[in-house]
Structure 1
Amino acid sequence: MVTNLGADQLGSVSITNKVPQRNQLTGDFLLEPIIVNSNIKIPPVIQELIKITSEGLVKGSKPIQSTEGSGGAYLMQDSSGLKYVSVFKPIDEEPMAINNPRGLPVSVDGEGLKKGTRVGQGALREVAAYILDHPRKGPRLCHDKELQGFAGVPPTVMVKCLHEGFHHPGGYKNVSGNVKIGSLQMFMRNIGSCEDMGPGAFPVEEVHKISVLDMRLANADRHAGNILVAKDGVDGRTVLIPIDHGYCLPESFEDCTFDWLYWPQAKEPYSPDTIDYIKSLNAEEDIKLLKFLGWDLPPKCARILRISTMLLKKGAERGLTPFNMGSVMCRETLKKKSVIEQIIQEAEETALPGTSEAEFLDLVSVIMDNHLEELYP
């Protein structure tokens, strides 16, 4: 992860664990992970992701632009050219970014399609969702081997990549100026998305794991189309895979939306194991982890993460369902503020000048308790 978003700003970023590139000096293509802390070893699953994607480029397998979504997304192939292995999303091709291939207008104030997000930060959020999708046994960096995250966010890494197959409105000059920075995510085999089938067939635990991720990260873009459906290779059970997290960790709760909110599974209580996982979450440690890995979470985004984690933990302690908690976080109508927005507004109106962030969060906690007691006595 990096905060340096321009290719011309990469001088302050340490690039480690490079993979071989064909004729790199003449600029045929380039693929490198962006690492800001050279003391961190790239996990084997990420090394393999970069390796097989690079091998595809070596063999001439070109990026294929996806027809879905409102930004530039490229399906990267393996060396045989017969299988997709990853998805690359350049920051300069995000919705409302300067090189967006869908013809969307460029953002005039830097705000993205969703309230509280910034154009050019979608890739950071994609990587952050993977990093913060901690395995059940604790934060990802605490383990010697790669463990799947609780919600199953596919392995994702920030990379810089050069290839003529990307969208180059000004022409491809085959020079370093055409290098693109973005997120590279493992392509997940699937049988479709939740949009293609009714939710009744989805296991409760699979829906619940998505709900925990979305509420914790205040996802502003969770719809049925960005939850993939797959079959476990061992026992054939249905598995849900969350993708597209470019609008998580926003600066406000205004655009929070969860399609699963009205699925029947959302009205079922969390299992003891899921409650234990929720209890283990720690927003302060998450903020430190993101900073350690290169993204100093903006203060407004950090506050949202703290408050969403607070709600999730309080709700789990009270035995609330995903529907109960999601209803607090999401607006009923576009114009009516959600309960959590009302809680924050009340805290802001009550807080004295010079109130510290910790004191403000204590105030939010008290007000949240009052609202939850009133809603769910």
Structure 2
Amino acid sequence: DSSGESNVAVFKPIDEEPMAKNNPRGLPLSTDGEGLKRGTRVGEGALREVAAYILDHPVYGCKSCDVPGFSGVPPTALVRCFHMGKGSNKVGSLQLFVDNNGSCEDMGPRAFPVKEVQKIAILDIRLANADRHAGNILVCQDGEDHLKLIPIDHGYCLPEKFEDCTFEWLYWPQAREPFGPETAAYIGSLDADKDIALLKFHGWALSPQCARVLRISTMLLKKGAERGLTPYDIGSILCRQTVKKESEIEAIIEEAEDAILPGTSEETFLETISEIMDFHLDKLAVKLKKF
């Protein structure tokens, strides 16, 4: 700006999350600990922001500031900052600020490259993102005529249930295009169990419910891509058409729960999910003449 200063990072304190005690918008406090999105917890937004960065694996090699993840989540860390005004420490997520030309709210989606849209679709499907809207996808100029999309705001990813999955890109034409070979290979390399172990290594042991969601969403993404389904086809299975009508993935989970005996292991439950999911996806693929 005119003072010569520039933005370097965005800090989101845990105690200022929506419905937390110090949230700046004056939202009512959560009475049961649940966040604005169903299946999320107040005070865990920072962990989810960091998790999205950690799980955004690069295509090759190890991730670093010089080797970004496939989906381009900006470097994010959990930090403790000293609040000069209040003389106290605050814990929250710190994310590298990305210079941009605005967000996807500022322009029509037809100008966006297919791969740029699909890299965000892959991230959102994997993490069952409950808050992907056009305002949290930044638009950057990568060269003279190439647009690059940067996903931010992942405080509502990795929920404990699928009820609020929301994907803005679902309505964009790029979501109806098939995955390219490189993208399909990347999807094939994903491993939910390794992701869960990686998050635990970094200090966040996912709850059993969150771990189940990650395993199921990754399973759906991989199985769908194997059958030649598009991001739209797969994303539509995760998202509700109306607030009260269950999504197809919720119906699959209910069907699996009805098919198993009480006390069944998580491994057996996921095998049941896999079998039911195969049936649904094969039926969809035949209907779409893609299998």
- Bin of the TM-score, shorter chain as denominator length: over 0.9
Q: Match for residue 132 of structure 1?
A: 55
Distance 2:27 2:180 in 1: 43
Q: 2:272 matched to 1:363?
A: yes
The two structures, once aligned, show a CA RMSD in angstroms of 1.4
Distance 1:221 1:329 in 2: 13
Which amino acid letter does the alignment assign opposite residue 198 of structure 1?
A: G
Distance 1:95 1:255 in 2: 16
Q: 2:92 matched to 1:179?
A: no
User: How far is the alpha carbon of 1:164 from its aligned partner?
Assistant: 2.6
Q: 2:85 matched to 1:162?
A: no
Structure exhibiting the larger radius of gyration computed from Cα positions: 1
Q: Match for residue 304 of structure 1?
A: 213
After superposition, give the CA deviation of every residue in 1:23-70 in whole Å (9 maximum; x if it has no partner).
Answer: xxxxxxxxxxxxxxxxxxxxxxxxxxxxxxxxxxxxxxxxxxxxxxxx
Sequence identity percentage: 68
CA gap of 1:243–1:286, structure 2 versus 1, over 3 A, is same
Matches within 5 A, 1:195-210: 195-210=105-120
Q: 2:275 matched to 1:341?
A: no
Q: Tell me, what secondary structure is at the counterpart of 2:244?
A: coil
Matches within 5 A, 1:312-323: 312-323=221-232
How many equivalent pairs are there? Answer: 285
User: How far is the alpha carbon of 1:138 from its aligned partner?
Assistant: 5.3
User: How far is the alpha carbon of 1:279 from its aligned partner?
Assistant: 0.1
After superposition, give the CA deviation of every residue in 1:334-355 in whole Å (9 maximum; x if it has no partner).
Answer: 1110000000011111111221
Return the TM-score normalized by structure 1: 0.74
Distance 2:61 2:249 in 1: 27
User: How far is the alpha carbon of 1:376 from its aligned partner?
Assistant: 2.4
Q: Tell me, what secondary structure is at the counterpart of 1:228?
A: strand
Q: Tell me, what secondary structure is at the counterpart of 2:138?
A: strand
**Which of 19, 25, 29 is equivalent to 1:106?**
29
Q: Mark the runs of 5 or more structure 2 residues left unpaired by the alignment.
A: 287-291
User: How far is the alpha carbon of 1:374 from its aligned partner?
Assistant: 2.1
After superposition, give the CA deviation of every residue in 1:91-131 in whole Å (9 maximum; x if it has no partner).
Answer: 00000001111100000000000000000000000000000
Return the TM-score normalized by structure 2: 0.95
Distance 1:324 1:346 in 2: 20
User: How far is the alpha carbon of 1:162 from its aligned partner?
Assistant: 0.8
Distance 2:133 2:227 in 1: 27
4+ residue stretches of structure 1 with deviation over 3 A? Answer: none
Distance 2:123 2:73 in 1: 9
Distance 1:252 1:138 in 2: 32
Q: Tell me, what secondary structure is at the counterpart of 1:150?
A: coil
* Residue pair 1:132, 1:139 contacting (<8 A) in 2 also: no
Q: Match for residue 127 of structure 2?
A: 217
Q: Match for residue 183 of structure 2?
A: 274
Q: Tell me, what secondary structure is at the counterpart of 2:11?
A: strand
Which amino acid letter does the alignment assign opposite residue 79 of structure 2?
A: V
After superposition, give the CA deviation of every residue in 1:218-266 in whole Å (9 maximum; x if it has no partner).
Answer: 000000000000011x555100000000000000000000000010000
Distance 1:335 1:301 in 2: 22
Q: Match for residue 14 of structure 2?
A: 91
Distance 2:89 2:68 in 1: 31
Q: 2:60 matched to 1:151?
A: no
User: How far is the alpha carbon of 1:296 from its aligned partner?
Assistant: 0.3
* Residue pair 1:157, 1:185 contacting (<8 A) in 2 also: yes
Q: Tell me, what secondary structure is at the counterpart of 1:112?
A: coil
